[in-house]
Amino acid sequence: MTGAATDDALEARQRPEIEIRDATAADEAAWRDLWGQYLAFYKVQIAPEVTDQTWSRCLDPASPLTARLAVVGDRILGFAMYHHHLSTWAKGPDCYLEDLFLCREARGLGLGQALMDDLIAICKERGFDRLYWHTDVNNHRARKLYDKLAAADGHVRYRISF
């Protein structure tokens, strides 16, 4: 084996068995813990009723919001939350990845890639035309993953809160 092949084989052996699945009602406590870590990472506070509503929407089959969980063993270590909407730029719907988060101990183990691969497969299966997301300009670890998947499109985001 070459050095690169040996490194790849070693890395593959060290990767945990990852399950990606939809959130269920039984996952609420673990999701809320991760959600709290996510908000702390971005140094934001959200009203408890907004978090309650977000969780309820994730479980509501009529809601376009879905939470996918990254599970290793019996532990939920990360999530990807996405929703879809119509587009004026494509025939099919767009998918927006609103939130992706991994607990600190799970970073670098391939869970982010697994969540993204899962979402890309869902988008293709459901006939979405595009998947898009944004991240903080200084979130270098996430950007390292995202830069492997797509090029930044140069758009600047604006927001007005009411």
State the pLDDT at residue 31: 98
- CB neighbours of residue 48 within 10 Å: 8
Q: Which helix (H) or strand (E) holds 130?
A: strand 130-132
Q: Which amino acid is at 156?
A: V
Nearest to 31 by CA among 57, 6, 5, 8: 57
Residue 46 lies in a domain: yes
Residue 158 lies in a domain: no
pLDDT value of position 157: 83
Q: Is residue 161, in this structure, part of any structural domain at all?
A: no
Averaged pLDDT of the chain: 90
Quote the pLDDT of residue 139: 87
Neighbours of 157 (CB within 10 A): 5
CATH number at residue 38: 3.40.630.30
Number of folded domains that form the chain: 1
Residue 154 vs residues 10, 117, 150, 157: alpha-carbon distances, Å: 37, 23, 12, 10
Taking the C-alpha atoms of residue 43 and residue 37, their distance in angstroms, rounded to an integer, is 9
User: Which tokens sit at 123?
Assistant: 């988008």
CA-closest candidate to residue 99, choices 162, 24, 46: 46
Q: Is residue 74 part of a domain?
A: yes
Residue 157 within a domain: no
Within-domain flag for 142: yes
Helix (H) or strand (E) holding 107: none
Q: Does any domain span residue 5? A: no
* Domain membership of residue 72 as a residue range: 18-149
Is the per-residue pLDDT at 2 higher than 70?
Answer: no
6-23: pLDDT as tens digits: 444 434 447 789 999 999
- Whole-prediction pTM: 0.86
156 domain residue, yes or no: no
The pLDDT, as a whole number, for residue 156 is 82
